[in-house]
Amino acid sequence: MDSERPLPALDLPLVSTFTTSDLLHVRILRSPVAKGRIKSIHIPHLPRGYRSIMIDDIPGSKTITVFGTEIPVLARERVSYRGEPIALLAGPDPARLQEAIELAHISLEEEEPDFTFSQFNSDRIAARCEYSHGDVELAFSIAQSMAEHEYHSAALYHAAQEPQGAVVWFDYDKLTIRCASQWPYLVRSQVAAVLDVKESEIVIEAADPGNHLDSRLWYPALLAAQAALAAVICGRPTRLILDRREDFLYTTLRAPVFSSYRSSCDKNGKLNAIDARIIINCGAYGVLAEEMAKRALAAASGAYSADNLRIQCYAVQSNLVPLGPFAGLVMPQILFAAERLIDDCARLADIEPVQMRRLNLLEKAAELGLVKRKKNIPFDELVESVCGISDFNRKHASFELVRKRHSDPAGQPGRGIGLAFGYQTPGGFITGSGTAASTVEVELTKEAELIIRSSSIPGTAGTVHIWKQIAADIIGQEPETIHFEPLRTGSLPDAGPSSHSGTITIISKLIEEACRAISQRRFREGLPIKVKKTMRPKNPVPGGPVDGCAWGAAVVELSINSYSGEPEVHGVWLSVKAGRILSIEKARNTLITNTALALSQSLYEHIPLEDGQIPEDANRCYHLARANQIPPIQVLLADSEDKAAIAGVGDLPFCLVAPALANALSQARDTPWQTDFASGMPGGGYW
Amino acid sequence: MFASEVASPYSINEATAFLRRFPQAVPAAACTRLIIDPAFSKRPITILSLSNIKELQAISRTDRFLDIGACVSMTRIINLPNISSLEPLKKTLLTIGSASIRNRASLGGNICSPDSFGSAFPMLSCMEASVELRSGNQSRWLRIHELVSEAGRPALPKGSFLTRLRLPIRDWEFSCIVRKGNSILPGEHGTCFAALANIEKNAISELRIAVAGTIQVRSRDLEMNLNGKKLPLAAKDIENSRHQFMETAIEAGLAPSIAISSADTVRAFLQNLSGESA
Amino acid sequence: MNIQFILNGEDIQIVAEAGDRLSDILAGRHYSDSVHQHCGYGVCGRCMVLMDGLPVNSCLVPAYEVRNSEVISWEGLIQTPEYQLIEIAWQTHKLELCSFCRPAVSLLMASLMDSSSRPSDAAIEETLSALNCRCTAPERLFAAGRTVVNLKEGRNKPDVR
């Protein structure tokens, strides 16, 4: 599939560069408190040409509905998180709007907010699921020892290149909205509902989302609805773009997860019981709570199993911003805990980490009730290759010797090397309610040009290149004769939500099938030939290590800087097996790029909490790694399997790097490292 | 930044004359820090821009000193060739911002941060730099630690501006610079730790340690105690030094967590000195 | 205040508040679509321009400092022959840059070509790290930077490390 052709540019417009005459800016008046009842709202007198918009000005639905959850477009009586939109102000001068926002006064009856989630009342549970086999309590009662472990995954900011926003303008009888959404049809349906107009009257023009890490899954629908509301009420084009601070504080963040485990294993290291309790902080409204809980349930023991297993998962609401979608949708947080657990158990049993994993690996044809596998997990292949290139076994044994010799290891920072093994589930990630099927239409025109129609948002120019190449190979035409119809709703079929990494698996398959169908009909029927292919989400075990997953193993080696006490990563090694690989070059680049991002998240990106809340200036302390802070990254890709399914690989680094780093840190510090970020010490303010 | 008025003089005399007339004016070089300081986003300020004054862009060297104009960019200092005594400062400057920020940000601006110490301050304090201040028709040289108030806070004399920085030309065998905390701006949530040392005849001949964020801490007692000590230092001496630095830092008003982590760095630095000498 | 400067070879005269940022002027008044005002702290680097030949974060440049200076944005850079070398380096290393990072990376690479002496590998990496690029592998970015420097020096062999 690889060719030497230069890569095409991802030719999507940007939101921020849009301009037109008569453009009105829109600013959001936000709740100053995290929980309370609104008593009154006082907005200062606005000059001519300016307008305030409250909930009663909304002609249609007062909420948007995303994945079955209703979220207010503007708060009416209650506020559920600090920064929740209460009113919109529109006008020509953004500085005057800002002044008006600062002079506005919202009188609220403040209530005690709920930020913590390790303890919660039942009325805060947005979703809950559990699974068990065997008898965990009995197993613990007869076990020689039982260990307890706790792991924390923090919230993360997506740091996409452009802050979120939307611009709206009138195009004859249509209202056109440009926004960087992963699911343009969701934006269209929600805007239509809010404005109480037909969906066909709204056109969504997709903008470049940058490297969004799934932060654009549903939030753009809220901003687009607000901007469209202002445009319709004022009768002018509008622009609502958040500044970086607002984007940081008030849009979605990664959901923090608290995992507590009890485990016991026999003297050989075989786990005989695992009891897991996983709590996901969904923030306000609990968007995707059920999906996240189900995924957590299926992934709670990672690639391993025990004779006696009990897993309880809770997705809990809190008075923080809506938390959730982020690369891998909760899988990295869950696999972090699972991989830390297996490493901690290995340490307690004094068994090599590779051996511990091998011993407890989910077997072929194992039926966990959650997951039925027909194929073997490629553990030996991947772990042996990654251990080989990183010299893991020798280094680990040597660092262990040093660790065990130290009388006071905390005072003698050392070196560590950590392993992690995990997977990325195939396909898109949304299996819950409100999810559309993915459809792609391909047409071979009379001029023998191939036009692909899909509302899927390609992650990069390379993805477009791959799709063109797939079509070119099947149809037997040059990629230059293959075109994608501009990404606008209306003319394109709904491809469903595009995920950070999963899109490539679904859309590639649909393009492939459609092109094959055209190829078969090409010389039997006259042109044009149109073929439409649709796929409905059918993964019965979201998040489970089912057949068709992409598997990976990672090793991270680090030392502790004696001056700063911070870890310094010396190298990262990844070994990946991902079924059929469409472009080795592209897969490798994706893996290295995302490994760099995952390292940045683990080493530098940390959102501190003040009294349970994100401080107002938190964005000033949110460090992102610079390119020259990234250590060497080596990736081994197992051979592509021609007949296998296409599996995405982009989320794998997010699932593997943090646990491998934490495992290395645990060895270097001779103390179990419980969080998936390395800045700050365990015992500090957890999410 | 809400700059109600800007004066951009071409000579030091013009600048001092302006400052006499408008003593509330804020002297600024490239303004890379002022422009993001929330304190200046609402309140109107008068800016005295020094970036057009050629004398403030000059670098000169004598046998004993290196003089750096207040508006010399950090990148120019980093690119200065073959001055080994400048290495600790270069290492410090490389921890500040990015290459494109350092292309404009000046060392003078870093020293004159109004509410908290810039990242270069503790290293300059260890190097015992001097600064030339101008006010009215007068110029005077101050040691850099004279820009620190008794409470350990920044204390740039009002009505004056920094014109030159003088660094003693002196080589250091051991240097250490550590930025702590995650803040983009030092002072708000972070600090900068600096240490320099020389060894002669297997004993510490000179040791300087400073940490600065919203306040600066330099324990001269500790430095005096350790100067002349034979290497390797006894574990007890190292622990005592760590403890002494921590107590000094907490007494000076440094947050306990930062004081402890700085004291740990003192211990690591002394351990490394001992290890290297062995 | 009245501010005169040269943007991409053209004389520009504008009226701006002294404390306005150069990025506000370039992006807000649509002089340049490649300047993005994203972080406002000089952290992301997506507002990069060349000012008097040096890459700077335009969000940290007050309007009064722009007076009489020469500013080059990506729109100006792509008109120059140097840009073709930059594109060759990208293609050599299959650099996949998004619309947000492409302009800043181009300008940083152009500044490497303008260096009076050959920049060291460390200097290349330091310069290119001024952009917080989240769309490509750092090693490829650096390799492309080294290639740009080689191409400028007339060494046609791209660096394929």
Which tokens hold the place of B124? 């300059």
Q: What pLDDT does A536 receive?
A: 78
User: Within the 603-642 window of chain A, which residues sit less than 8 Å (CB to CB) from chain B?
Assistant: 604, 606, 608, 617, 620-623, 626
Q: Mean pLDDT across chain B, nearest whole number?
A: 90
Q: What pLDDT does C2 receive?
A: 92
Query: How, if at all, do strands B174-180 and A78-79 pair?
Result: unpaired
Tokens 């902080």 belong to which residue? A281
Mutate to test the interface with A, among B182, B185, B188, B274 (most CBs of A within 10 A): B182
Which residue is closest to B178 within chain A, CA to CA?
Answer: A564
pLDDT 10s digits, A108-138: 999 999 998 888 999 999 999 999 999 999 9
Spatial distance between the Cα atoms of A631 and A634, rounded to a whole number of angstroms? 10
Domain final residue, candidates B168, B195, B212: B168
Facing residue for C134 by CB, picked from A6, A159, A628: A159
Domain match, B161 and B122 both: yes
Residues A580-590 have a mean pLDDT of 89
Tokens 């009154």 belong to which residue? A40
State residue A328 phi and psi, 5-degree precision. 90, 0
Element holding A611 (H helix, E strand): none
pLDDT of A278 strictly over 70? yes
Q: What pLDDT does A299 receive?
A: 92
DSSP-assigned letter for residue A492 = B
**What are the DSSP calls for B45-74, one per residue?**
EEEEE-TT-GGGG-EEE-SSEEEEETT-BH
Q: Mean pLDDT across chain A, nearest whole number?
A: 89
Q: Say yes or no: C130 contacts chain B, CB-CB below 8 A.
A: yes
Record: contact B100-C41, CB cut-off 8 A: no
Position B1 in a domain: no
Record: contact B35-C64, CB cut-off 8 A: no
What percentage of residues in chain B have a pLDDT greater than 90?
Answer: 72
Record: contact C33-A14, CB cut-off 8 A: yes
End-to-end CA distance of chain C: 50
Report residue A234's pLDDT band, with 50, 70 and 90 as the boundaries. very high
Q: What is the CATH number of the domain that holds B212?
A: 3.30.390.50
Residues A37-47 have a mean pLDDT of 95
Report residue A363's pLDDT band, with 50, 70 and 90 as the boundaries. confident
Domain match, B150 and B218 both: no
User: The whole model's pTM is what?
Assistant: 0.94
Residues A412-430 have a mean pLDDT of 82
Record: contact A565-B265, CB cut-off 8 A: yes
Facing residue for B100 by CB, picked from C18, C21, C45: C45
pLDDT 10s digits, C21-78: 999 999 988 899 999 988 888 889 999 999 999 999 999 999 999 999 999 999 999 9
Rg for chain C (alpha carbons), in Å? 16
pLDDT of A540 strictly over 90? no
Give B-chain residues touching A606 at CB under 8 angstroms. Answer: 182
Record: contact C64-B47, CB cut-off 8 A: yes
Asked whether the CA dihedral A652, A654, A655, A656 is positive or negative, the reply is positive
Tokens 């100053």 belong to which residue? A32
Q: What domains does chain C contain, in order, with CATH numbers?
A: 2-73 (3.10.20.30), 80-152 (1.10.150)
Domain match, B139 and B230 both: no
- Which three-class secondary structure state does DSSP give residue A448? coil
Q: Alpha helices, DSSP H only, in A428-559? A: 461-475, 503-521
Asked whether the CA dihedral A97, A101, A103, A104 is positive or negative, the reply is positive
Q: What pLDDT does B188 receive?
A: 53
A488 DSSP β-pair partners: A205
Spatial distance between the Cα atoms of B112 and B115, rounded to a whole number of angstroms? 9
Facing residue for B1 by CB, picked from C43, C62, C126: C62
Domain, as residue range, for B124: 57-168
- Select from A270, A260, A405, A401 the least CA-distant residue to A346: A270
Facing residue for C56 by CB, picked from B2, B36, B104: B104
Domain match, B78 and B116 both: yes
CB pairs under 8 A between B and C: 81
Tokens 């996949």 belong to which residue? C96
Task: Count CA atoms closer than 13 A to A175's CA, side-chain side.
Answer: 29
User: Within the 501-530 window of chain A, which residues sit less than 8 Å (CB to CB) from chain C?
Assistant: none
Report residue B64's pLDDT band, with 50, 70 and 90 as the boundaries. very high
Domain match, B186 and B158 both: no
pLDDT 10s digits, B127-176: 999 999 998 778 999 999 999 998 899 998 888 999 999 999 999 999 99
Residues A3-24 have a mean pLDDT of 71
pLDDT of A8 strictly over 70? no
Record: contact B264-A621, CB cut-off 8 A: no
Give C-chain residues touching B104 at CB under 8 angstroms. Answer: 51, 54, 56, 60-61
Report residue A494's pLDDT band, with 50, 70 and 90 as the boundaries. confident
Q: What pLDDT does A1 receive?
A: 38
CATH of domain A24-113+159-250: 3.90.1170.50
Which residue is closest to C53 within chain B, CA to CA?
Answer: B103
pLDDT of B58 strictly over 50? yes
pLDDT of A408 strictly over 70? no
Q: Partners for C (CB, 8 Å, 3+ pairs)? A: A, B
Residues A57-67 have a mean pLDDT of 96
pLDDT 10s digits, A522-531: 888 898 999 9
- Select from B98, B88, B7 the least CA-distant residue to B52: B7
Residues A374-397 have a mean pLDDT of 94
Domain match, B150 and B181 both: no
Give C-chain residues touching A597 at CB under 8 angstroms. Answer: 134
User: Within the 208-227 window of chain A, which residues sit less than 8 Å (CB to CB) from chain C?
Assistant: 208, 210-211
Domain final residue, candidates B151, B168, B185: B168
Spatial distance between the Cα atoms of A208 and B143, rounded to a whole number of angstroms? 54
Domain match, B211 and B131 both: no
What percentage of residues in chain A have a pLDDT greater than 90?
Answer: 65
Spatial distance between the Cα atoms of A104 and A99, rounded to a whole number of angstroms? 9
Element holding A634 (H helix, E strand): strand A633-637
CATH 3.30.365.10 fits A253-429+542-669, yes or no: yes
Query: How, if at all, do strands A529-535 and B65-69 pair?
Result: unpaired
Return the ∠ at Cα A551 (arms to A546 and A553), rounded to 5°.
140
Element holding B4 (H helix, E strand): strand B3-7
Facing residue for A562 by CB, picked from B98, B181, B268: B268
Facing residue for C99 by CB, picked from A14, A593, A597: A14
Residues A156-170 have a mean pLDDT of 94
Number of domains in chain B: 2
What per-residue string of b and e applies to B250-261 under the rule 16 or more CB within 10 Å gives b? bebebbeebbbb
Domain final residue, candidates B168, B186, B219: B168
Q: What pLDDT does A303 receive?
A: 92
Record: contact C96-A17, CB cut-off 8 A: no
Element holding A125 (H helix, E strand): strand A125-133
Record: contact A17-C33, CB cut-off 8 A: yes
CATH of domain A438-535: 3.30.365.10
A572 DSSP β-pair partners: A556, A633
Record: contact A563-B188, CB cut-off 8 A: no
Domain match, B273 and B206 both: yes
Break chain A into its structural domains and give their ranges: 24-113+159-250, 253-429+542-669, 438-535
Which tokens hold the place of B263? 């004291």
Give C-chain residues touching B5 at CB under 8 angstroms. Answer: 18
Tokens 């290349």 belong to which residue? C124
- Which three-class secondary structure state does DSSP give residue C11? strand
User: Cβ distance A280 to A296 under 8 Å?
Assistant: yes
Q: Say yes or no: A162 contacts chain C, CB-CB below 8 A.
A: yes
Facing residue for B8 by CB, picked from C21, C64, C129: C64
- Which three-class secondary structure state does DSSP give residue A359? helix
List the beta strands (DSSP E) in B80-202. 130-135, 138-143, 161-168, 174-180, 191-200
Higher pLDDT, A74 or A565: A74
CATH topology match: A24-113+159-250 vs A438-535? no
pLDDT of A354 strictly over 60? yes
Task: Count CA atoms closer than 13 A to C112's CA, side-chain side.
Answer: 35
pLDDT 10s digits, A588-605: 999 999 999 999 999 988
Chain B residues interacting with chain C (CB cutoff of 8 angstroms): 1-6, 8, 30-32, 35-36, 47, 49, 51, 75, 94, 97-101, 103-104, 184
Q: What type of residue is B80?
A: L
Domain match, B178 and B164 both: no
- Which three-class secondary structure state does DSSP give residue B116? coil
Residues B184-208 have a mean pLDDT of 83
Query: How, if at all, do strands A105-110 and A36-42 pair?
Result: antiparallel
Identity of the highest mean pLDDT range in A299-313, A446-460, C146-160: A299-313
Residues A316-332 have a mean pLDDT of 93
Q: Say yes or no: C133 contacts chain A, CB-CB below 8 A.
A: yes
Element holding A627 (H helix, E strand): none
Higher pLDDT, A437 or B107: B107
pLDDT of A71 strictly over 70? yes
Which residue is closest to B183 within chain A, CA to CA?
Answer: A621
Mutate to test the interface with A, among C92, C99, C102, C124 (most CBs of A within 10 A): C99
Query: How, if at all, do strands C10-15 and A633-637 pair?
Result: unpaired
Residues A257-269 have a mean pLDDT of 93
Position B41 in a domain: no
Position B5 in a domain: no
Residues A494-519 have a mean pLDDT of 85
Q: What pLDDT does A28 receive?
A: 98
Q: What pLDDT does A462 receive?
A: 79
Q: What pLDDT does A7 receive?
A: 40
CB-based contacts of A507, cutoff 8 Å, min separation 6: A438, A440, A454, A456, A467, A495, A498
Mean pLDDT lowest among B141-150, B255-264, C119-128? B255-264
pLDDT of A5 strictly over 70? no
DSSP-assigned letter for residue A284 = S
Spatial distance between the Cα atoms of B271 and C16, rounded to a whole number of angstroms? 56
Domain match, B257 and B193 both: yes
Q: Say yes or no: C55 contacts chain B, CB-CB below 8 A.
A: yes
Facing residue for B188 by CB, picked from A561, A564, A620: A620
Mean pLDDT lowest among A313-327, A450-464, A653-667? A450-464
Q: Say yes or no: C3 contacts chain A, CB-CB below 8 A.
A: no
Q: What is the CATH number of the domain that holds B150?
A: 3.30.465.10
Facing residue for C21 by CB, picked from B5, B35, B101: B35
Position B239 in a domain: yes
Report residue A681's pLDDT band, with 50, 70 and 90 as the boundaries. very low
- Select from C147, C57, C149, C154 the least CA-distant residue to C112: C149
State residue A181 phi and psi, 5-degree precision. -110, 150
CB pairs under 8 A between A and C: 99
Q: What pLDDT does A409 receive?
A: 46
